[in-house]
Amino acid sequence: MINYSNNKSFSDFISYNISYIKENTKISKYLDIRYIISSREDYLNKLSYSYNWNKYESLINSVELQPFDDNDLQDLSDELKVKINEPDVIIKLSKGLPALIVSYIEYFDLTGSEQIKLQLLDLVVKIILKGIEENQKDWIICSSFLNEFDEKGLRCFNLIGNDYNKAFIFLSNKNSIAESVNGGNKVKIKPVIREFITEYLKETQPEFYNECISIANTYENVKEIVDKFANVELNVIRSFAYFKSFDSEMALEETFKSDLHLAKEVLHNQSECFLKNKCTFTLKPEISEKLDEYNKVVDGQKYEMKKQLVKDSWQKLSEELLKKQNEFSNELEKIKSESSEIDSVAKVLRQEYEKEQSEFLEIENTLIEMRRETLFFTKKSNISAGLICLTLTVILGLITNFFPDFFKDLNSGNKELYNILYISSYTFSILFGILTIVYLIKEINLFTRKDEYKQLQEDINSLEEENNQRQKKMRANKDIRTDSEIKLSEMQLRTKLLESELESIKMKLDEPFI
């Protein structure tokens, strides 16, 4: 109709036959048609309706009805010709809303202000919630306890539950009830409506009112924290708040399962929210404490169930850790006992080896002396030397006997030289004769001591055999000690590994999830 009355021209009519009016003249030039559209919703400011209304922006005059003040109330009283008792009180009770003032005048003026307060509140709440579905009424009632809010605030209320996204969309578009703030990212219920609804609930349902106030306070305390995170990240951070501490393996796997990658991303990307312990991470106390209160209202009955899941997860892990600790402790004690035994045996073997080595060296020294003695019996030079000396004795004896015949010319020519040669030949003949006798005596002596040489040789063979056996024994001793040292080295490595594992288990047990 607006389009018809403002944009139609006379020429658009089939029966147009007016010669004194130009064809393109619009009807609105001659006919002043005005529409009064009354609505609780401000459709002009709704984006979804902007296409329909923007083209008429220059034609529309939007007026928002304001609450009555004292002067307006007096004018109404004069118009209706009625006397209003306690006008200040009625303005305060009705917040200046005309409908409530008229209802007061018509129905409640006969009673005192305190008595009509509840009737007024009941009436205004019915007006506010008129024509709204039951679940949407719950959304409005719950959100009236919040200041500025988004989905994260709405999900605190059990009445809204999993419909918090729908509720936020509904309230964002319901500008008769709520108004957008912070660029449309948040919404708040209009102050007058908030005041009526909360006051009504305070009078009629005090227990529910106190519960909602507590929830609203919880959200206000945590709002600064939850606003930092997107919904997906917030769900992960909230889960971390159930833990006193958590590891990056079992706790995350047990809690997040298929969303494990999201948990690890949050742990990495939001590292400033966590404290790194020896084995685990902890959500910072100033964040954890507030999120724990937030979890209580958001998860409701599931809160204790989730706490129990964390407790069960820690119980499972601690049992596994205690089992490993017991196994590793037993293994460590066994290794220490075995290594002590091996070390004791190795010390005995080392002492035996040193003793055998000492005896081996002593016998070797004895053998050296005994072999030196055998040289006396094995010398073949006595006979050779004796024969040489005997030969020289015979030659020199013959020369001495036949000396005058050989050197007769020298005797007649140089008597002194002749005498010297004669005496020398005679002397050497006697000397070599003596040596021949000495070598003969030695050979006879060796011949008579053959049994002694045989015994000496047998003793040497016996000692050599004894040392050979001792050497084999020492080699076997050394092999055993080498194997023991290798085994001890392996045990030491295993001991260090077990001690490291036990220390790691101890640190994990010292940092429980709950």
**For 322-364, what is each residue's pLDDT tens digit?**
898 899 889 889 988 888 888 888 888 888 888 888 888 888 8
Condensed to tens digits (0 to 9), the pLDDT of residues 232-280 reads 888 888 888 888 888 877 777 777 777 788 888 888 888 888 888 888 8
User: Does residue 173 register a pLDDT over 90?
Assistant: no
Res. 209 pLDDT band, cuts 50 70 90: very high
Q: CA 45, CA 52: separation in Å to the nearest integer?
A: 11
Q: In a 10 Å sphere around its CB, with 0-12 CB exposed, 13-18 middle and 19+ buried, how is residue 505 labelled?
A: buried
Q: CA 514, CA 259: separation in Å to the nearest integer?
A: 22
Looking at residues 207-211, what average pLDDT do you find? 93
Q: In a 10 Å sphere around its CB, with 0-12 CB exposed, 13-18 middle and 19+ buried, how is residue 199 labelled?
A: buried
Condensed to tens digits (0 to 9), the pLDDT of residues 105-143 reads 665 555 554 556 677 778 778 888 888 899 999 999 999
Question: Tokens 């964040």 label which residue?
Answer: 287
Report the interhelical angle of 231-240 vs 285-299 (nearest 10°): 110
Asked whether the beta carbons of 126 and 196 are under 8 A apart, the reply is no
Chain-wide mean pLDDT for the chain?
A: 79
| Cα 401 to the center of its chain, rounded Å | 120
Condensed to tens digits (0 to 9), the pLDDT of residues 4-57 reads 666 676 666 656 566 666 667 676 666 667 777 766 656 566 555 555 666 666
Report the interhelical angle of 113-128 vs 87-94 (nearest 10°): 30
Condensed to tens digits (0 to 9), the pLDDT of residues 137-162 reads 999 999 999 989 999 999 999 899 88
Report how far apart, in Å, the C-alpha atoms of 238 and of each of 45, 251, 264, 273, 433 are: 36, 14, 14, 12, 125
What is the percentage of the chain residues whose pLDDT exceeds 90?
11
Looking at residues 185-201, what average pLDDT do you find? 87
On whether the pTM is more than 0.85, the answer is no
Condensed to tens digits (0 to 9), the pLDDT of residues 295-318 reads 999 888 888 998 888 888 888 888
Task: Give me the pLDDT at residue 393, please.
Answer: 78
DSSP H/E element including 255 = helix 250-256
Q: CA 8, CA 28: separation in Å to the nearest integer?
A: 8
State the number of CA atoms in the 13 A half-sphere of 34 facing the CB: 6
Task: Give me the pLDDT at residue 191, please.
Answer: 83
Task: Give me the pLDDT at residue 442, please.
Answer: 72
User: Does residue 408 register a pLDDT over 60?
Assistant: no
Res. 218 pLDDT band, cuts 50 70 90: very high
Asked whether the beta carbons of 94 and 108 are under 8 A apart, the reply is no
- Among 493, 489, 496, residue whose Cα is nearest residue 342: 489
Q: Which own/partner contact pairs does 346-351 have at CB distance under 8 Å and 24+ positions apart? A: 346/481, 346/484, 346/485, 346/488, 349/477, 349/480, 349/481, 349/484, 350/481
- Among 283, 303, 232, residue whose Cα is nearest residue 261: 232
Query: Angle at Cα 147 formed by Cα 143 and Cα 149, nearest 5°?
Result: 65
Asked whether the beta carbons of 97 and 182 are under 8 A apart, the reply is no
